Amino acid sequence: MHFVLPKVSILRAAMSLPVLVVALTSAPAAQNRPIAGRIGVPIFQKLTRNSGYIFSGTVTSISRSEPGSQNNIGTTKITFHVEHAFRGVQTGETLIIREWAGLWESGERYRVGERVMLFLFTPGKLGLTSPVGLELGRFQLGPYGRILLNKEHVAAISADPALAGRWQGKTQISWKEFSRGIRGEIQEY
């Protein structure tokens, strides 16, 4: 059987082609901009409002589960000792999260003994979570508990009117100053 499209459908398709080309060519450029700047929401507001778990802690163990053993997807199980709790956990608690193994393979990795500050999504139907905004929702803790900012954090802070004046150009922030910003957003929300 041979099917012929009506001329009107071909005309509509031809007219929508420029819109499709613009959408496809602008998408990669949009992906390179910081999330906070792209959607116009301040970084702390975005991170806190989308997080089910907010805490700092130390990675105590890591294990992998291959596809087929649970929901037919590979996962990485990461265990944390919670040092400072802001949402969804308690200080001193042992928290076990599961991430899709693809995150691990794409560079989202933890090391036993590593100290991090995390903003994690509430686990979904499969029990998996990940940092809100990927790199934006994961901060390294440096010596003396200082928050270390990567290039994504610096770009997002620069685009955030509430933070740009205070933290512009910084690569480290004191724990006290950082936690004050988080608590302020949690209280406002």
Rounded to a whole number of angstroms, the CA Rg of the chain reads 21
Is CATH 2.40.50 what the domain over 44-188 is classified as, yes or no? yes
Q: CA distances (Å), 20 to each of 24, 27, 30, 32, 88, in order?
A: 6, 11, 15, 20, 42
Structure-model confidence comparison of residues 15 and 117, the more confident one: 117
pLDDT at residue 187 in the model: 67
pLDDT band at 74 (very low <50, low <70, confident <90, very high): confident
- pLDDT interval class at 175 (50, 70, 90): confident
Measured at the CA of 105, the angle between CA 99 and CA 107, to 5 degrees, comes to: 90
Domain ranges of the chain: 44-188
> What's the pLDDT tens digit per position in 137-156?
999 999 888 999 988 888 88
CB atoms under 10 Å from CB of 58, counted, come to: 15
Task: Kindly state the average pLDDT of the residues 12-27.
Answer: 34
β-sheet bridge partners, residue 55: 85, 118
pLDDT category, 177, cuts 50, 70, 90?
confident
Question: How distant, in Å, are the alpha carbons of 79, 97, 123 from that of 73?
Answer: 19, 15, 15
